[in-house]
Amino acid sequence: MKRIIYIEEKFLDPFLCKPFVDLAKSNNKELPYGDPTRGGDTFLTTVTHSDPNESLAKGADIPEPDGNYGAIYLGGKVDPTTIEIDDNELFKTVIHAVTDLCKSFDSDIVLDYVGVIRWPPGTFMKPHFDKNDVHGPDVFAAMLYLNDDFVGGHTCFEDFEVKPQAGKLIIFSNSEFLHHVSKVKDRERFVLSFWYKRLTPPTD
């Protein structure tokens, strides 16, 4: 398994990011939690830690029973914004382009999930590894930043962090690198997020 962090600054024209943001904003289903003035909810919208007073640094005081250093997703009944790629040429083109790039690093992968994730102000994610004990660990995560008109919301690794810019793409081995998201401030953060699994399950 390759262990990578890949960043492409101008993967997509920022103008072409807007339809993905509009898709997320068009989701007007009732919010299971959070601020109803946002007009809808999307997959993993409220991502935070159980204690927002804790620091965003890995430390000895953070439990690690599951490999996630205490990071959790709050609100189990989140409502995904489905991307129907067969009905939209832009969505299809972008999703296939990201997937083809990921397959250039490891051909034995398959797209497990893609969706627009909406992070309202105040949300963040604690340091963690993305692990899935049911289907096996992720091979890669890919994130295409859709906007940058907010403060914070950086994707942070142990030695550096990636500042969101509309159209920037990051691909990384999300079950191999400890990572977190710094607190989003001022405005919402929108990301087109992908998770890739191994096509051929590992054998014991």
What CATH number does the domain containing 93 carry?
A: 2.60.120.620
pLDDT at residue 85 in the model: 59
In a domain, 130, yes or no: yes
pLDDT digits (tens, 9 = 90+) for 1-10: 578 999 999 9
Is the predicted pLDDT of residue 97 greater than 50, yes or no?
A: yes
Q: Which two tokens stand for residue 176?
A: 């191999």
In a domain, 59, yes or no: no
In a domain, 58, yes or no: no
In a domain, 120, yes or no: yes
> What whole-number distance in Å separates Cα of residue 168 and Cα of residue 182?
17
pLDDT digits (tens, 9 = 90+) for 179-190: 888 888 899 889
pLDDT (average), residues 161-169:
97
In a domain, 203, yes or no: no
In a domain, 29, yes or no: yes
What b/e string do you get for 169-198 counting C-beta neighbours within 10 Å, with b at 16 or more?
A: bbbbbbbbbebbbbbbeeebbbbbbbbbbb
pLDDT (average), residues 167-177:
93
In a domain, 100, yes or no: yes
Looking at the 3D structure of the chain, how many domains does it have? Answer: 1
In a domain, 60, yes or no: no
Parent domain of 142: 5-52+65-198
pLDDT digits (tens, 9 = 90+) for 36-95: 444 433 333 333 333 445 544 444 444 454 444 444 443 323 334 556 556 688 888 999
